[in-house]
Structure 1
């Protein structure tokens, strides 16, 4: 059933013949309805669909953050669309019949702010994560009060952990308590800076986590 509001120039939803009315990014749009096909998908199509599912499954938990911090709109592509395209292209590897996330290629933010440099991360005996970085305040596109965000991911539980605005660029180090499900297991770490006003972000960096207790 199709529904038209007000007049032909008003909101339209549903299907009439081969035309479908939808709302897309707040706009009323008419599209041609897709035709059903009995054609078997090619191996390349099957692989692309599997990569898409893997990327969506990995990124969905952090979608709100990516939607705010992964660059700006590019034409019709929103920041999350850009993040999805990037990870499909750069961060998923085919290993035999399996797909793997390439964690050093994962990116949680994109922007022109100066990023985190000279970073290291070590798990301490008290299950705290010590993260250190270089003070690059004197460089362009960097401010002493830029705020640090750390994101951890534990593959064993498929959970992300966010530590937002936990330190300033000028601090050069911070200690974070590891969540229970991130203790005694492999964790991956990314860091980014965001301006004090929240307006601009840096392109995130991957920080290898040294854990002598594993």
Structure 2
């Protein structure tokens, strides 16, 4: 049984996997059941049934957390589809990113959920990460990253690509800079739009391998005021 929110209503879903049958799987609604193919498996499920009970305070808070996280992570979907977790099992990478953020990167203040930016992961993976990476502001809305070359350690490679993700809380906007430098170059500059001058941005970075099949856990580099 699964529980989902549709609008403001809590609904329940019963779901089963089709393992045998002369007709195989089917797609669509038949009576009170729905057939579909989900992550390579034929399933049937009951149609959602609205609960007759009003949502509790705990359920309402969970809804608010879910809405906050979904809205925050949506611009990162194309990254997290590739680079968050293994992508195996019943959850997609995007679902794993949502679950992680709700569970690990949310705090509640005065009954309102807030993002804890220092705990946010943009990517999550087994690639060797950065060594002693720092970010510093430069003139012209520029941020400079410096790190040490650790391309001989573990599964690191000189051709791993450095990426930078910036989030301006005031504007509610992400800026994403992909493949800005190879691991062995140890430095990269990124420039934000002139409208960001004087604004604060949260900064994360990550490496992905040249084949774009894996990434490291993304370190949070703090808040930078652009100049």
Q: Work out whether the TM-score is over 0.5.
A: yes
- Partners of 1:48 and 1:212 in 2: CA distance: 35
Equivalent position to 2:80, from 66, 76, 81: 66
Asked whether the equivalents of residues 162 and 205 of structure 2 are also in contact (C-alpha less than 8 Å), the reply is yes
Which deviations, in whole Å up to 9, do the C-alpha atoms of 1:51-74 show, x marking residues without a partner? 111110101111121011102223
1:111-190 residue pairs with structure 2 within 5 A? Answer: 111-190=125-204
**Farther-moved stretch of structure 1 (35-44 vs 159-168):** 35-44
Equivalent position to 1:13, from 5, 28, 46: 28
- 5+ unaligned residues in a row in structure 1: which ranges? 1-6
- Partners of 1:89 and 1:23 in 2: CA distance: 28
* Corresponding residue of 1:196: 210
Asked whether the equivalents of residues 136 and 224 of structure 2 are also in contact (C-alpha less than 8 Å), the reply is yes
Q: TM-score, normalised by structure 2?
A: 0.84
1:23-62 residue pairs with structure 2 within 5 A? Answer: 23-25=37-39, 27-62=41-76
Asked whether the equivalents of residues 82 and 214 of structure 2 are also in contact (C-alpha less than 8 Å), the reply is no
Secondary structure, counterpart of 1:111 in structure 2 = coil
Alignment: residue pair count: 206
Distance 1:36 1:212, change over 3 A: closer
RMSD: 1.8
* Corresponding residue of 1:103: 117
- Partners of 1:209 and 1:120 in 2: CA distance: 11
Which has a greater percent of strand?
A: 2
Secondary structure, counterpart of 2:29 in structure 1 = strand
Asked whether the equivalents of residues 147 and 194 of structure 1 are also in contact (C-alpha less than 8 Å), the reply is yes
Q: TM-score, normalised by structure 1?
A: 0.88
- Partners of 2:51 and 2:222 in 1: CA distance: 46
